[in-house]
Structure 1
Amino acid sequence: MKNRDLPLSDDQSLPDRIVTAIRGVLGDEQYILHKPIFGGNEQKYLQDCIESTYVSSVGRYVDQFENGLCNFTGAKYAVAVVNGTSALHIALLLAGTKTDDEVIVPSLTFIATANAIKYCGAIPHFVDSEEETLGIDPLALRDWLAYITEMRNGFCFNKQSGRRIKVLLPMNTFGHPNKLDVLKNIADEFGLIMIEDAAESLGSYYNGQHTGTFGLAGTLSFNGNKTITTGGGGAILTDDFEIAKRAKHITTTAKKPHSWEYDHDEVGFNYRLPNLNAALGCAQLEQLPDILVSKRRLTEKYKGAFSSINELELILEPANCSSNYWLQAIKLDRAFMSERDAILQGTNDAGFMTRPVWNLIHTLKPYKGCPKADLSVAESLAKQLINLPSSAGIV
């Protein structure tokens, strides 16, 4: 039985009031941060896949899943791969990212975004985030690029490092879209290629256009904690036929089609999504519209529960956006961010799994020496943000 409208007492500490508010939405059950929902044809499709014996990278469910992603997102092409990180790796390679190129990326992101850059031998160049979207701040980005770069023969170079800046890589934090058209215009102005990390934003739209479709390519993740899951998996979205064709080729070990010959014409990657995982994804994709409705309903419940706690705000979709609300989040007022860890302790002790945002990438050992702009907003957000239980079907 879930409790509703539990009274908040001014005598309670802030952590206790937050626990009371969450309990008013979730009741007395314990909840992890995010778990998948299997309520459709998952077992049916998995059993069919097993009986077909095509459980690896060959089989009809891979094609079906890719077509379903195209139909849902509006992208012309989708290439399914083993995870979101490999999708980013391939997208960056196909954008021409080379050793010692720099890639503009937020520090406020999951480490996979930066790792994929390093896989190419390139160097992350960290820029600040904004309060509204939690993504790259376009105004700060343009000012920074105007200050630190120069154009040489039509290419953008970092005046301080001497390296070429090749790619702009925004990430849609917690499923909330960046100001993607503005970022694309900045990329064009400075001769950068935009690749969109939409790992968290399947089902999110900016000005009516699905995320992951604004740049040369976008990437998705279907990890077990994402809006829908294939167990492990990802995809590259693009409207460019040649990019899609080459992505499919090099993620399948660059093997040339032939009935029996093993002819590989370049170094490739064993990144193709197995048919078994794609079968799970097909069933999940059928349920995506209902999952998005459920997540929006949870947002409204949290919105009501936190409305009387003035020390924080619930993160809501930015203007001109429709968010998938992958992970619900609250943002503490700066005057109360010192209580973050007490809130995390209190909520987790009460059985409600919460967590802080990721450690900023520029603070992590592998990336401490990378170029960076002023990151004061991201550094503040890292102390203010707390994720809440966000699974579909909670309410």
Structure 2
Amino acid sequence: MVFKETIQFIQDKFNTKDFIPLHVPHFNGNERKYVLDTLDSTFVSSVGAYVDRGEAMMTEISQTKGAVAVVNGTAGLQVALQLVGVKPGEEVLTQALTFVATTNAIQYNGAQPIFLDVDYDTMGLSPKSVLDFLEEFGERRDKGTFNKKSGKRIAACLPMHTFGFPVHLEELLAVCKDWNIPIVEDAAESLGSSYKGKPTGSFGKVGVFSFNGNKIVTSGGGGMIVTNDEKLGKLGKHLTTTAKIPHAFEYFHDQTGYNFRMPNLNAALLCAQLEQLRSFLENKRKLAGDYAEFFENQGITFRKELENTKANYWLMCVEMENLEHRNSFLEVTNGSKVMTRPIWQLMFRLPMYAHCQRDAQTNAEFLEQRIVNIPSSAI
């Protein structure tokens, strides 16, 4: 099958016949000014005015009470799970249709993921799948909810907002509240997305964003933990700065901490990028609208935001008819220097997670064979 019209449309949108990547950053604001300012100040490491400013900006953007800048989103997830009480030997409910960082963060804590199916419409963790699992395997005890099959405590639920499309948060929150399981939102891909008018990342006990080079806003490498629990926010900052007790000259660390603090140099870049978030979102929504109109005429499903949600359209995607159709699309587009990419392989297909408990994964496997990302840079 030939996809000449799609290739031509994308080349016209990005105004080039050269290689078109999936997503690139745009530096059209104060990036150079702020980075040079950090060099002049000599505060380029983990202490500096831009770290504080970036945290304040993210607190406002996420509509939370506190933010902690970290070196990357994965480190943020690792610490966020600790903040809600995840301990070695426990379990975390999550989705298999995700980037590996979601699952790695669980394992870094010595815990184990339980893979539950996603919803077809959001591509994110399904509240019904969580409820069905808990009704079959969950057991309420004085110390929390336990898995009757493994005997281990289910310490948290970790949904991921796939490509910036919010999961069904209201339903998921209700299920987890009933079973006394805290939610950590993996909002790495959803900066600027919202659910019923409220930003993603602000619904769970803790939320985590990523500012990797391919994200909608970048600090080169970096992430942010956000929370409405001020006590957890302070603990998060403490843990990510080697758990050092503040003192003018003495070094005393009261527990095992991490050197996960975002450098001021990266924070300077972040602040300049966050200043442009609104324009990035507007440009991406315009591109998404153009894609939606084009693919409708091609008979290909372009994934759009659901009612009562607002997606940031970080990575835009199409749904192909089947695996063969998907593979043909990937070969033709990439062969024409238009980068496209299949959605991730399901986590239980990876050797380190093949043993983990999971449900039928009906929607996840359906989507795995059909979803393809297309060039999504703000233009």
Is the structural similarity TM-score above 0.5? yes
Rounded to whole Å, the distance in 2 between the matches of 1:18 and 1:147 is: 46
Aligned to 1:320: 308
Q: In structure 2, give the amino acid aligned to 1:318.
A: L
Rounded to whole Å, the distance in 2 between the matches of 1:38 and 1:24 is: 22
1:349 is the counterpart of 2:338: no
After TM superposition, the structure 1 = structure 2 runs for residues 1-395 of structure 1, keeping only pairs within 5 Å, are 13-29=1-17, 30-153=19-142, 155-310=144-299, 312-333=300-321, 336-393=322-379
Task: List runs of 5+ in structure 2 lacking aligned partners.
Answer: none
Shift of 1:26: 3.4
Q: In structure 2, give the amino acid aligned to 1:237.
A: V
CA contact (8 A) 2:2 2:332 kept: no
Rounded to whole Å, the distance in 1 between the matches of 2:2 and 2:149 is: 45
3-state SS of paired residue (1:18): helix
Deviations 1:355-387 (A, max 9, x none): 001111011011000011110110110010000
CA contact (8 A) 1:25 1:301 kept: no
Rounded to whole Å, the distance in 1 between the matches of 2:104 and 2:155 is: 16
Rounded to whole Å, the distance in 2 between the matches of 1:102 and 1:254 is: 25
Shift of 1:140: 2.5
Q: In structure 1, give the amino acid aligned to 2:357.
A: P
3-state SS of paired residue (2:275): helix
CA contact (8 A) 2:122 2:166 kept: yes
Task: List runs of 5+ in structure 1 lacking aligned partners.
Answer: 1-12
TM-score by length of 2: 0.97
3-state SS of paired residue (1:51): helix
3-state SS of paired residue (1:96): coil
Rounded to whole Å, the distance in 2 between the matches of 1:380 and 1:179 is: 19
3-state SS of paired residue (1:291): helix
Rounded to whole Å, the distance in 1 between the matches of 2:355 and 2:112 is: 10
Shift of 1:153: 2.2
Q: In structure 1, give the amino acid aligned to 2:159.
A: P
CA contact (8 A) 1:21 1:306 kept: no
Rounded to whole Å, the distance in 2 between the matches of 1:360 and 1:339 is: 19
Rounded to whole Å, the distance in 2 between the matches of 1:21 and 1:280 is: 32
Shift of 1:24: 4.8
Shift of 1:27: 4.4
Rounded to whole Å, the distance in 2 between the matches of 1:224 and 1:19 is: 25
Aligned-residue sequence identity (percent) comes to 45
Rounded to whole Å, the distance in 2 between the matches of 1:330 and 1:38 is: 28
3-state SS of paired residue (1:307): helix
Alpha-carbon RMSD: 1.2
Q: In structure 2, give the amino acid aligned to 1:60.
A: A
TM-score by length of 1: 0.94
Rounded to whole Å, the distance in 1 between the matches of 2:216 and 2:150 is: 39
Rounded to whole Å, the distance in 2 between the matches of 1:365 and 1:357 is: 18
3-state SS of paired residue (1:32): coil
Rounded to whole Å, the distance in 2 between the matches of 1:376 and 1:26 is: 36
3-state SS of paired residue (1:227): coil
Count of aligned residue pairs for this structure pair: 378
